[in-house]
Structure 1
């Protein structure tokens, strides 16, 4: 069988295997659509009343969301409604007075009663001016029935409250045996104030247990609460009376930025800080004198047969001084120079002639003798 036939058979076998694998996969698996709930992102992650606003807008109602209560920017009109999700006791007395004046002209205000706090409750607060007093009664549910729907229980985690003048309430919803209420609608001038112990059913639904406005009973109850000015003006949804703390936001949400910067700053400070104790050994101090260096250099040259260099260096040093001290003798050469140097130094000419002649390369005694003579003659100049 040739190589071409072997390649063809291998290709056919591979194609057959791919076909069989495809048939097995299609026979044992079936494509089924599946809906997966994605986590919330964007505005619904920080605005708990986002679903309520979008529901109202789809119903043709003008609805606006605000993080804080800004009366100047809101420009409230008599037919508007304001729903406040946060603690109304944090409002300043001036803001509380402006809200009540607006309600008296025909506005509709919805408030949530917070937990009782003797230090914060008082007649000067917005709740105190309306005659509302938070109660210490433990939270309990209120049944809510809608035709065609299962029975619901509302306000299960809310804080009950009492009214200073129960007769001023148009609507009351609570327990008769302890006079505490879960909801009340008060008339204030031409407007109305709805007070609720809990607004969890108005928030965005997060799971199967917290369905929010996806439940028909919750939508029905919301429509009942917004009824006084529904369709007449703008509904302002204030989901945080106070702006979140800048430092808390930075610490909680900004750590992917400030934590690497902090680590980089600490690393830079560690690199630039003063160290205690040497990380590297101290450099060795020079312990040899100049004479020791000269002797060591000479021994090195002598060991490697470079003794003529030592003699030449000494002879050049002698001649350099001779040119400065006796230039006439330095200008001469040969025998005349030797006699002139001998007369100048008062030395035998033979000794001078010997000092100026290079010794043999391996004659250490002659080398030492000539270098000694050159040193003595140089010192005498």
Structure 2
């Protein structure tokens, strides 16, 4: 076939098939854009203040993120701000004193009360809150109303632990927010700096465990705390004293994973081959359940089995008369011991003597003493049964 003609036919066939398929595809399908919210990656997975740090960097502020408070590694300036998401009750007394000494030079510290516990009586507020003059902590289930113009029913501090201040702390209070008995926020003067005590910091976190946040995440919207305008306004208000004057230090209270967790999730390329090698070695060294060769035949020493096997062999090859002769010999031997006179007779007189001795009919005795036909197995069994019965009656 001419190559040019072949390619022309092939191109025409493709056009005839492709054009209808393309029209069918365009009429039965439509372009749809779907936005899928991916899980956080990198630092956003473990830093709950990551969004806050990114927002501050976008505003031109220097931001430093730390998993735990370490004053020796943190070069705090006199106009810096420390957002302490870490539980303040975990700080030892020397660290609390050093932190307050830095605040005394002009710094701004934001901290929260210890998170709610199952037993309020068994919890302590720690040396830092004691030094600030926090009197007592209260665990309540109600929220603090936060009046926003476009959200009249907005509330905050629903999961935090409220607090009260002592007389000395009341005198150093610049701003306060709460009910008549307890507070959710208080800004205290401490030397040249400020300390802001909050009931909780959920509005600053990158995730909020609220029903509204879960519904927003289900709709594909952002679910972080700073997504809400009221949360951004409240955060900006709390960061006000030193905002834009120094660096921001965000202590996000992240505990590093344990060694065993890191080995399990990150070291699997090493321990999986080692585990497979160990299992293979155990399988090679273990006892096998079965054998590739048949088990050796065990020698049988039972006399009854040998006698039974010999009888079956004789019957199989038509030698049943020999079995009858053996049983007959046993009967004659017993007859010689019990009735020697009858054993000395031959023929019909012996049959008559045995019948009178056993009180059997003479015909039955004669049938038992007559050898069976060579291939009549039923007659053989019957005569052997009679001989054994006659032997047992002697």
TM-score of the superposed pair, with normalisation by structure 2: 0.61
Please, which runs of 5 or more residues in structure 1 have no aligned partner?
285-381
Alignment deviations for residues 88-114 of structure 1 (CA, whole Å, 9 cap, x no partner): 111121111100001111111111111
- Deviation of 1:134 after TM superposition, in Å, equals 5.2
Structure 2: how far apart are the matches of 1:67 and 1:229?
A: 22
Number of residue equivalences = 279
How does 1:1-381 map onto structure 2 within 5 Å?
A: 12=12, 14-114=14-114, 115=116, 118-119=121-122, 121=124, 125-133=127-135, 135-149=137-151, 151-165=153-167, 167=170, 168-176=172-180, 179-205=181-207, 207=213, 208=216, 210-240=223-253, 243-247=255-259, 249-250=261-262, 253-254=265-266, 256=268, 260=272, 263-264=275-276, 266-267=278-279, 270-271=282-283
What SS does structure 2 have at the residue aligned with 1:72?
Answer: coil
- Render the CA deviation track for 1:135-179: whole Å, top value 9, x for unaligned: 343232112233345542211111222222362322222122xx1
Q: Secondary structure at the match of 1:121?
A: coil
Q: Distance in 1 between matches of 2:276 and 2:173?
A: 62
For residues 212 and 221 of structure 1, what CA distance do their matches in structure 2 show? 11
Q: Distance in 2 between matches of 1:68 and 1:213?
A: 22
CA contact (8 A) 1:139 1:159 kept: no
* Residues 155-209 of structure 1, C-alpha deviations (whole Å, 9 max, x = no match): 1111222222362322222122xx1221111111111111111111111147526
What is the alpha-carbon root mean square deviation over aligned residues?
3.4
From the superposition, tell whether residues 6 and 96 of structure 1 become closer, same or farther in structure 2 (CA, over 3 Å): closer
1:266 offset after TM fit, Å? 4.6
SS at match of 2:245: coil
In 2, Cα distance between the equivalents of 1:82 and 1:51?
A: 16
Distance in 2 between residues matched to 1:46 and 1:159, nearest whole Å: 24
Task: State the SS of the aligned residue for 1:109.
Answer: strand
On the 8 A contact 2:136/2:165 being kept in 1, the answer is no
CA–CA distance in structure 1, aligned partners of residues 164 and 194 of structure 2: 17
Q: Given the superposition, is the C-alpha separation of residues 108 and 24 from structure 1 closer, same or farther in structure 2, using an over 3 Å criterion?
A: same
| 164-173 or 47-56, larger mean C-alpha shift | 164-173
Distance apart, 1:278 and its partner CA: 9.1
CA contact (8 A) 1:140 1:158 kept: no
In the alignment, structure 2 segments of 5+ residues that lack a partner are 218-222, 297-394
Q: Distance in 1 between matches of 2:285 and 2:123?
A: 50
In 2 relative to 1, CA 86–261 (structure 1 residues): closer, same or farther, beyond 3 Å?
Answer: farther
Quote how far apart the aligned CAs of 1:24 are.
2.2
- Contact 1:145–1:217 (CA<8 Å) still a contact in 2? no
2:133–2:165 contact (8 Å) kept in structure 1: yes
2:161 is paired with a residue whose SS is: coil
Q: Displacement, 1:71?
A: 1.0
Post-superposition offset of 1:274 = 6.7
Structure 1 residues 10 and 101, CA gap change in structure 2 (3 angstroms): closer
Is contact 1:201-1:218 (8 Å) kept? yes
Aligned counterparts of 1:78 and 1:142: Cα–Cα separation in 2:
33
In the superposition, the TM-score normalised over structure 1's length comes to: 0.63
Between the aligned partners of 1:215 and 1:127, the Cα distance in structure 2 is: 30
What does the per-residue CA deviation read over 1:213-241, in whole Å, with 9 as the maximum and x for residues that have no partner?
Answer: 1111111000001001101101100011x
